[in-house]
Amino acid sequence: MADLKTIIHITQEQLKRELPVHEAVIGSLEVLPSREADVLTRRAGLRAGKPDTLAKIGDELGVTRERVRQIEKQGRTKFAKQLEKAPLRDILKLTLEFIRERGGAVDVEALTEEFLPQSQQTEGGAAALALVLHSTPAVVQVKEDKGHGKLYALSNAHATTATGLIPVLEGALAEAKEPRTAEALAADAKVAEAAAGNGHLLSDAMVASVLSFGSPFVRTDDERFGLAIWRDINPRNIHDKTLFVMKQAKTPLHFEDITERIKRAKFDQKPVTVQAVHNELINGDEFVLIGRGIYALKEWGYVPGTVADVIRKILTDADGPMERAEIVEEVLKQRHVSENTVVINLQEKSKFRRIGGKYAITEESPEPGGK
């Protein structure tokens, strides 16, 4: 038998499907005087998705902007009373429960994408939900700033606690210097907030919500959180994106494959070209060409330079001269080349010499160079 939480969740989902927010709001506006309904509909952006200005509406109605403002205010007052009746009462109840489940504060984007069913995730649907929330004292609006987007909270105290968490969590991550789970960050935040006397509203759900809407934070692929300024988890330019996808792949890749992976990752809207990626691979010290357009990361143990440079490194690390077959085997671990290419390089007497059927470095052989 399903547990109570599952039953409640299913019921809420059914209610949302059966109570289309946009249709419910439009229907509730029909009880208002036609002029008030028209002005409020346009000011709320229920038709075009974007609000009409006071000036535009005033010009079309032949009244001043101040008169339009008065009509809108009258309409909002009457619309607010509709929140006491079905279906808006049920929509508001579900919305408040959604915000409560997320610790009492949530950003507009999450509310639209996670609360509204996909079929209702339209500009009109978002505008209708916003009108409901703007018409009730049960929800506090928080303006967008550099730390977060526009938020809805259950109270001023919830809003203050949530926004105050942003610098706390940012400081915890800066000190850790690596991504952390939401649970670990919540534990740190509870200690910090308790010490400051602000912990009575703090919950794991609020921390998770703040991590999702706080602009300093990004979520990693393994469901941890880091700082947006960390380029290894939030790459900004072609170089960082190239490094990111290669670390994700954990294997050498052709430059064309790297380009396609960057495009699929959709880091941002910036265009990515094969030539730009190839240039970064050629010029970046972290990357090693291992043959045929395939690149690896130096940190994986790949030796930069030519095949001759690789041979020199292998012989330098060996206890003594090595047989040709041994050298070929080791080089092929580092380079995608033919055995014949390795043999040809071994024949360069200025770099390598034979000693009793084995190979060693010629004394005057130069140190490995660039790629």
Check pLDDT > 90 for residue 103.
yes
**Higher model confidence: residue 211 or residue 192?**
211
Residue 48: pLDDT above 90?
A: no
Decide: 178 and 187 in contact? Cβ < 8 Å: no
Identify which of 7-16, 103-112, 115-124 has the greatest average pLDDT.
103-112
Beta bridge partners of 360: 353
15 pLDDT band (50/70/90 cuts)? low
Note the pTM of the prediction, 2 decimals.
0.70
The predicted pLDDT at position 268 comes to: 82
Render pLDDT for 163-183 as a digit per residue (tens, 0 to 9).
999 999 999 999 999 999 999
With bands split at pLDDT 50, 70 and 90, how would you rate the model's confidence at 369?
low
Instruction: Calculate the average pLDDT of the chain.
Output: 89
pLDDT at 340: 95
Residue 352 backbone phi and psi in degrees, to 5: -135, 150
Chain segment 212-231, per-residue pLDDT in tens: 999 999 988 788 999 999 98
Of residues 200 and 3, which shows the higher confidence score? 200
Contacts of 24 by beta carbon, 8 Å cutoff, 6+ apart: 87, 88, 91, 128
Predicted local confidence at residue 231, as pLDDT: 86
Cite the DSSP H helix spans in the chain: 4-18, 21-29, 34-43, 54-61, 65-81, 88-101, 108-110, 123-134, 156-176, 182-196, 204-213, 238-249, 255-265, 274-283, 307-317, 324-334, 339-346
* pLDDT tens-digit series, residues 58-73: 999 999 999 999 999 9
pLDDT of residue 194: 60
- Which tens digit of pLDDT belongs to each residue from 184-193? 999 988 877 6
User: What percentage of the chain has pLDDT greater than the value 90?
Assistant: 73
pLDDT grade for 45, boundaries at 50, 70 and 90: very high
Determine the Cα–Cα distance for residues 191 and 193; give it in Å rounded to an integer.
6
For 256-300, the pLDDT digits (tens) are 999 999 998 888 888 999 999 999 999 999 999 999 899 999 999
pLDDT in tens, 328-349: 999 999 999 999 999 999 999 9
pLDDT-derived band at 11, boundaries 50, 70, 90:
low
Domains of the chain by start residue, with CATH: 4-138 (no CATH), 151-227 (1.10.10), 238-300 (1.10.10.10), 307-361 (1.10.10.10)
